[in-house]
Amino acid sequence: MPDTTERRPYHHGNLRTDLLAAAERSLKAHGAEQLSLRDLARDVGVSHAAPRRHFADRRALLDALAESGFMRLGAELRAAVDGIGDGSDLTARLHAFASAYVRFATENAALTGLMNSSKHRPGATAVAEAAAAAFGQISDLIEEGQERGELEGDDPEEIGMVLYATILGITTMLNSGMIESARLEDLVSTAVTQFLRGARPAEPR
């Protein structure tokens, strides 16, 4: 039977969104190495050439998927912290941030792996900017704590990196099966508590 795929009409206006959704499903099921524009075109029911209207090649697709992931992560982090309220103490807001990150990273393990590997790739400017916007929120929280005198006045970005490294390690251990999911909340709580203990100004003698 002749292949009629190339004769299919161009897709509706949501093709880019549909391709990214299909790419994320494939990423979760098969990994990044198995992703191809041709297969995705077949999955969403368009011609083999149609995806190239939005993504020049496979690398562009992966970068767009990583960028989209960071934008979603940023929105979830913001919603978690905002849900606590401006008047809440720093411990509660940092715990909300850490829990939201861990939840996203464990529910979207394959996507998070792609995001983390893509943000440092030379030329992936949009991915790096989306990552900076998402994680810049932790620097804002640290800076706010410094202004209130709750944290030491060193570089907010470097201080925040310590907490991020800790929660990243927790999610990596969970995703690799080194720890059980039942321990997650306790570990996050401990991470935030220990971080704050080390980052608070020393008591005057």
- Residue 48 has a pLDDT of 80
Mean pLDDT value across residues 83-90: 79
- What's phi and psi for 108, nearest 5 deg? -130, 55
Residues, the chain, total?
205
Closest CA to 95 of 186, 4, 174: 186
DSSP class of 31? -
Task: Give the pair of three-digit tokens for residue 107.
Answer: 């529910």
Confidence of residue 13 (pLDDT cuts 50, 70, 90): low
The 3-state DSSP class for residue 178 equals coil
- Residue 5 has a pLDDT of 43
Res. 8: pLDDT tops 60: no
Q: Which of 46-50, 63-67, 135-139, 199-203 has the lowest mean pLDDT?
A: 199-203
Res. 2: pLDDT tops 60: no
- What's phi and psi for 201, nearest 5 deg? -60, 145
Res. 142: pLDDT tops 60: yes
Amino acid at 191: A
CA pair distance 181, 185, nearest whole angstrom:
8
- Residue 200 has a pLDDT of 83
Q: Which residues, 6 or more positions from 188, have their beta carbon under 8 angstroms from its beta carbon? A: 95, 98, 99, 102, 167, 170
CA pair distance 202, 205, nearest whole angstrom:
9
The pTM for the full model equals 0.85
% of the chain residues with pLDDT over 70: 91
Confidence of residue 205 (pLDDT cuts 50, 70, 90): low
Mean pLDDT value across residues 135-152: 90
Give the Cβ contact number of residue 45 at 10 Å: 11
- Residue 9 has a pLDDT of 47
Task: Give the pair of three-digit tokens for residue 50.
Answer: 């149609």
- At 157-177, the pLDDT tens digits run 898 899 999 999 999 999 989
Mean pLDDT value across residues 65-83: 96
Res. 193: pLDDT tops 70: yes
Give the Cβ contact number of residue 24 at 10 Å: 18
Mean pLDDT value across residues 19-47: 89
Confidence of residue 194 (pLDDT cuts 50, 70, 90): very high
- Residue 54 has a pLDDT of 86
Q: Helices marked H in 11-155 — which ranges?
A: 15-30, 37-44, 58-84, 90-107, 109-118, 125-147
